[in-house]
C-alpha cells in the first residue's frame, strides 16, 4: 500500500489526519455570512461526493467536467473524481453552449457538475451531442425545482447516495485513495485557443504537487495560518496550482460570494496570499485611481504629496542603494498617512505573498503597487509547464520573471523562443500526440514565447513569438508590451496595437473604461448617452491622446503609437475577440477590424460604421455611427 501523499486526495487525507476538526480548511461567503469548513468537513464532503458518484457509475479513468464559479463544491467534486483515479475538467462559466459542448465532448466527460440554473440550461441545450454524458449534477437549486429531466440530480442527493453507499462499502473510499498513483491524470486544462481549437493539456498529480512544493515550500514559505482568497476560474492552471499548493501547505481557502463582491470579500478576509492575473491588478489600480478622483480635496492633496515619496523609495531600491533617514522617515509618514489605508481599502493590508501571471503585467502597475507597499512577484508558466520561473519576493521588481524554478533549465532558441526542461511538465495533449511531439522535442518544451535571459540569469518574457511585429523599415516591436503599459491608465480598459511589414508606423484601437471615463465626464458636466457616444466625445479623445503621449515617451520611438481610434464597442469573448482569460485573439481581431485598420493607414479622418449599442438604462439597439481617426500630431 502506498501511503505517500503523492496525489491530491492523499494530501487531503494527510491534512485531515493532522488537523481533523481543530483547524479551518475553507470558508465561503453566502448571503453575507462566512460559512466555515474544517479539514474534517472538507474530507467528509469529498468522501461522500466520491462514493455517491461511484454509486452513479463513476469508474477509474472517467472524466467529469466542472462548470461553475470556484466554490467549495467545485473543490469537492474535483477531489472526489480524483480520489477514484478519474480526471477533472474545468470549463469557464462564461462559455457559450457550443463551447461547453466542445469541452465536454472532447474530454469524454461522463458527468458534468454545474453550478446553477444558468449553467444547467447550457448543458441541457447540448446534452444530446455529448454521447457519454449520463448525469448533470447541480449544487445551487434556485430556479431548478420545476425541472423534470432525468439527467439532473442535485449535489445534496449525491451526498446522500454516498452516505448510503458507504454502509455496504466500508473502507472503500480510503482504499481507492491509496490506490491512486502520482502519474494519474489529475486534471485536463484546455489551452486558450488563440490559434485554433483548444487542446486538452493532461496534468498529472506529480506535476501539480511537484510544482506546489517548489512554490509553497522552497521558493516561498507559506504557513498553515495563512489565508488565500479563491476566485480564479477552476479551468485556469493557476487555480489548479493553488489547489495543490494550499493542500500542500495547509492554507485556508476563502471563496467570495459573487463577482460583484470580490473586492469587499477580500477586504473582509485580509488574505496573506493573493494571486491576481494582470487584468485584476490593472483593474484594482484603475479602481484606486478612480476612488482618488472621487475623494475629498484633502485626500487628493495627500495622495499627490505622498505617492512621489513611494516612487522615490522604489527608485532608491532599484538602484541598489540604501535609503537615508530622511526618506525612511518620509516613507513612514506616507505609509501611515495614506498607503496603509489604501492597502486596507482594497484588501491588501495583510498580504505577504502577492503574485501575478498569465499575461505580462504593466511595469507601471507593478511599480505603483510597490510604491504603496505591495511587492508583486511575477510568475511565468503555462498549462503545459505550470511553473517555469518565479521572481523573488525580496528587493524590487527588475522587470523580469525571476530565476528558473529549481531543477528547471531554460534557454533561448536562435529564433528568440523560450524553451524549458524540467521534471514537472504536462503528460501530453489529450487525443493529440502529434501536437505533443511538436511542443516537446528531446525533453525541451517550446513555449512559443519570445524573450531573453539577463546576465544575472533571470528570464525576461516579452510577448508571444507569433505576435512580435515588424514594420516596413525592419524595426521590431511587441504589441503586448505597449498594451500593458497603456492599461496602467485608469481610462483604458483594453486595446489592440497593430502595425506590420506593410506599415510605416504603429496604431491602436482603444476600449475606454466606461465607469472611469463616465465618472470623469460627469465631473466635468460632459453629457453622453451611451458607450459609443462617450467614446467619441472630443474631450474623451483628448484624454486618451494624453495617455498615448505618456507611454510613447517610455518606449522606443519606432514603436510609438501615431494614430488611434476609440472603439464604438468593448471587445467581447462571446464574439470570439478574446479568450476566456481575456487574452486578445490578435490575428482574428486584426482581420475582424481590418476596415478600421485600413482607414487609419489610408489617412482617413472618420469612418462610418453600424454598431450595436447598450444604453445606460439597459436598452439595446443598433445605430449607425461615425468613429474618429485621431493622430498624435
Mean pLDDT of the chain: 91
User: CB–CB of 328/345 below 8 Å?
Assistant: no
Q: Which helix (H) or strand (E) holds 332?
A: helix 325-334
Between 452 and 34, whose confidence is greater?
34
Residue 612: band (very low, low, confident or very high) from pLDDT cuts 50, 70, 90: low
- In this prediction, residue 609 carries a pLDDT of 82
- In this prediction, residue 168 carries a pLDDT of 94
Of the candidate ranges 272-286, 320-334, 612-626, the one whose mean pLDDT is the lowest:
612-626
523, pLDDT greater than 80: yes
Q: How far is CA 515 from CA 360, 361, 551, in A?
A: 24, 21, 22
108, pLDDT greater than 70: yes
User: CB–CB of 403/459 below 8 Å?
Assistant: yes
- In this prediction, residue 620 carries a pLDDT of 66
Measured CA to CA, the distance from residue 56 to residue 364 in angstroms comes to 52
Residue 614: band (very low, low, confident or very high) from pLDDT cuts 50, 70, 90: low
Measured CA to CA, the distance from residue 189 to residue 614 in angstroms comes to 34
Of the candidate ranges 318-332, 532-546, 608-622, the one whose mean pLDDT is the lowest:
608-622
- In this prediction, residue 29 carries a pLDDT of 95
User: Residues of 610-626 as b/e, b for ≥16 C-beta within 10 angstroms?
Assistant: ebebeeeeeeeeeeebe
Residue 397: band (very low, low, confident or very high) from pLDDT cuts 50, 70, 90: low
Measured CA to CA, the distance from residue 123 to residue 126 in angstroms comes to 5
Mind listing the pLDDT tens digit for each residue in 181-236?
A: 999 999 999 987 655 688 999 999 999 999 999 999 999 999 999 999 998 899 99
Mind listing the pLDDT tens digit for each residue in 546-598?
A: 999 999 998 889 999 999 999 988 887 776 677 766 677 888 888 888 989 99
Measured CA to CA, the distance from residue 173 to residue 52 in angstroms comes to 11
CA 387 to chain centre: 15
Q: Helix (H, G, I), strand (E, B), or coil: what is residue 134? A: coil
Of the candidate ranges 14-23, 385-394, 440-449, 608-617, the one whose mean pLDDT is the lowest:
608-617
2, pLDDT greater than 50: no
Measured CA to CA, the distance from residue 280 to residue 359 in angstroms comes to 11
617, pLDDT greater than 70: no
The cell numbers describing 570, all together, are 468593448
Counting every residue written for the chain, the total comes to 633
Which residues have CB under 8 Å from 633's CB, separation 6+?
none
Measured CA to CA, the distance from residue 390 to residue 376 in angstroms comes to 11
Angle between helical axes of 363-371 and 278-294 (0-180°, round to 10): 60
Strand partners, 87: 63
Q: Compute the half-sphere exposure of residue 71: CA atoms within 13 Å on the CB side of its CA.
A: 21
Residue 431: band (very low, low, confident or very high) from pLDDT cuts 50, 70, 90: very high
Burial (CB < 10 A; 0-12, 13-18, 19+), residue 473, is: exposed
Written as one string, the DSSP assignment of 271-318 is: -SEEE--HHHHHHHHHHHHHHHHHS-HHHHHHHHHHHHHHHHHHHHHH
Domains and CATH numbers, the chain: 8-275 (3.40.50.12780), 468-631 (3.30.300.30)
> What would the mean pLDDT of 35-56 be, rounded to a whole number?
98
53, pLDDT greater than 80: yes
- In this prediction, residue 439 carries a pLDDT of 95
Which residues have CB under 8 Å from 410's CB, separation 6+?
388, 389, 404, 418, 419, 420, 453, 459
> What would the mean pLDDT of 336-341 be, rounded to a whole number?
93
244, pLDDT greater than 90: yes
Provide the percentage of residues in the chain whose pLDDT is more than 90. Answer: 71
- In this prediction, residue 278 carries a pLDDT of 85
Measured CA to CA, the distance from residue 361 to residue 355 in angstroms comes to 11
Of the candidate ranges 31-35, 150-154, 156-160, 585-589, the one whose mean pLDDT is the lowest:
585-589
Of the candidate ranges 291-295, 411-415, 484-488, 512-516, the one whose mean pLDDT is the lowest:
291-295
Measured CA to CA, the distance from residue 308 to residue 576 in angstroms comes to 41
- In this prediction, residue 1 carries a pLDDT of 41
The cell numbers describing 542, all together, are 483628448
14, pLDDT greater than 60: yes
Of the candidate ranges 31-35, 225-229, 355-359, the one whose mean pLDDT is the lowest:
355-359
Report phi then psi at 52, rounded to 5.
-65, -40
418, pLDDT greater than 60: yes
Which residues have CB under 8 Å from 482's CB, separation 6+?
497, 506, 508, 551, 555, 559, 561
507, pLDDT greater than 70: yes
Between 23 and 588, whose confidence is greater?
23
- In this prediction, residue 464 carries a pLDDT of 86
Amino acid at each position: 500500500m502506498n501511503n505517500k501523499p503523492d496525489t491530491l486526495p492523499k494530501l487531503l487525507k494527510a491534512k485531515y489526519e493532522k488537523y481533523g476538526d481543530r483547524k479551518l480548511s475553507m470558508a465561503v461567503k453566502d448571503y453575507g455570512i462566512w460559512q466555515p469548513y474544517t479539514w474534517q468537513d472538507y474530507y467528509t464532503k469529498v468522501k461522500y461526493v466520491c462514493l455517491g458518484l461511484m454509486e452513479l457509475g463513476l469508474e477509474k479513468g472517467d472524466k467529469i467536467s466542472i462548470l461553475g464559479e470556484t466554490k467549495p463544491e467545485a473543490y469537492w467534486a474535483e477531489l472526489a473524481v480524483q480520489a477514484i483515479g478519474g480526471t477533472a475538467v474545468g470549463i469557464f462559466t462564461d462559455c457559450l453552449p457550443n463551447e461547453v459542448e466542445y469541452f465536454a465532448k472532447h474530454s469524454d466527460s461522463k458527468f458534468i457538475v454545474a453550478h446553477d440554473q444558468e449553467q444547467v440550461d447550457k448543458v441541457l441545450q447540448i446534452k444530446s451531442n455529448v454521447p457519454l454524458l449520463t448525469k448533470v449534477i447541480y449544487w445551487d437549486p434556485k430556479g431548478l425545482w420545476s425541472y423534470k429531466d432525468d439527467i439532473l440530480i442535485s449535489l445534496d442527493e449525491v451526498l446522500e447516495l454516498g452516505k448510503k453507499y458507504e454502509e455496504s462499502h466500508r473502507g472503500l473510499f480510503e482504499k481507492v485513495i491509496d490506490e491512486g498513483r502520482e502519474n494519474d491524470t489529475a486534471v485536463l486544462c484546455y489551452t486558450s485557443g488563440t490559434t485554433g481549437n483548444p487542446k486538452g493539456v493532461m496534468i498529472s498529480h506529480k506535476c501539480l504537487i511537484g510544482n506546489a512544493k517548489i512554490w509553497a515550500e522552497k521558493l516561498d514559505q507559506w504557513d498553515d495560518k495563512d489565508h488565500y482568497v479563491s476566485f480564479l476560474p477552476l479551468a485556469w492552471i493557476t487555480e489548479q496550482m493553488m489547489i495543490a499548493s494550499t493542500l500542500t501547505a495547509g492554507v485556508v481557502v476563502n471563496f467570495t460570494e459573487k463577482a460583484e463582491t470580490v473586492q469587499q470579500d477580500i477586504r473582509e478576509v485580509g488574505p496573506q496570499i493573493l494571486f491576481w492575473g494582470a487584468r485584476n491588478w490593472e483593474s484594482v489600480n484603475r479602481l484606486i485611481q478612480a476612488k482618488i478622483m472621487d475623494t475629498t480635496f484633502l485626500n487628493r492633496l495627500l495622495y499627490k504629496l505622498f505617492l512621489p515619496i513611494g516612487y522615490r523609495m522604489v527608485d532608491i531600491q532599484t538602484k541598489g542603494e540604501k535609503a537615508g533617514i530622511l526618506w525612511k522617515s518620509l516613507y513612514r509618514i506616507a505609509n501611515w498617512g495614506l498607503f496603509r489605508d489604501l492597502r486596507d481599502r482594497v484588501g491588501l493590508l495583510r498580504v505577504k505573498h502577492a503574485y501575478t501571471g498569465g499575461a505580462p503585467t504593466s511595469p507601471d502597475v507593478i511599480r505603483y503597487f510597490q510604491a504603496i507597499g505591495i511587492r508583486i512577484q511575477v510568475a511565468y508558466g503555462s498549462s503545459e509547464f505550470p511553473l517555469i520561473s518565479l521572481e523573488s519576493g525580496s528587493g524590487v521588481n527588475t522587470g523580469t520573471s525571476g530565476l528558473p524554478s529549481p531543477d528547471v533549465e531554460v534557454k533561448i532558441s536562435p529564433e528568440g523562443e523560450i524553451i524549458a526542461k524540467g521534471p514537472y511538465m504536462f503528460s501530453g495533449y489529450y487525443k493529440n500526440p502529434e501536437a505533443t511531439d511538436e511542443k516537446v522535442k528531446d525533453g525541451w518544451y517550446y513555449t512559443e514565447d519570445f524573450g531573453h535571459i539577463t546576465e544575472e540569469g533571470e528570464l525576461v518574457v516579452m510577448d508571444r513569438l507569433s505576435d512580435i511585429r515588424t514594420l516596413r523599415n525592419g524595426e521590431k516591436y511587441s504589441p503586448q508590451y505597449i498594451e500593458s503599459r497603456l492599461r496602467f491608465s485608469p481610462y483604458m480598459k483594453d486595446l489592440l496595437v497593430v502595425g506590420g511589414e506593410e506599415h510605416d508606423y504603429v496604431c491602436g484601437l482603444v476600449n475606454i473604461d466606461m465607469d472611469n471615463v463616465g465618472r470623469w465626464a460627469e465631473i466635468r458636466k460632459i453629457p453622453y448617452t451611451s458607450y459609443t457616444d462617450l467614446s467619441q466625445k472630443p474631450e474623451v479623445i483628448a484624454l486618451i491622446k494624453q495617455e498615448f503621449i505618456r507611454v510613447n515617451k517610455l518606449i522606443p520611438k519606432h514603436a510609438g503609437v501615431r494614430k488611434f481610434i476609440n472603439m464604438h464597442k468593448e471587445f467581447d469573448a462571446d464574439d470570439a475577440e478574446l479568450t476566456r482569460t481575456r487574452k486578445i485573439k490578435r490575428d482574428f481581431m486584426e482581420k475582424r477590424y481590418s476596415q478600421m485598420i485600413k482607414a487609419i493607414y489610408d489617412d482617413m479622418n472618420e469612418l462610418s460604421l453600424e454598431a450595436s449599442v447598450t444604453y445606460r438604462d439597459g436598452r439595446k439597439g443598433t445605430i449607425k455611427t461615425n468613429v474618429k481617426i485621431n493622430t498624435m500630431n
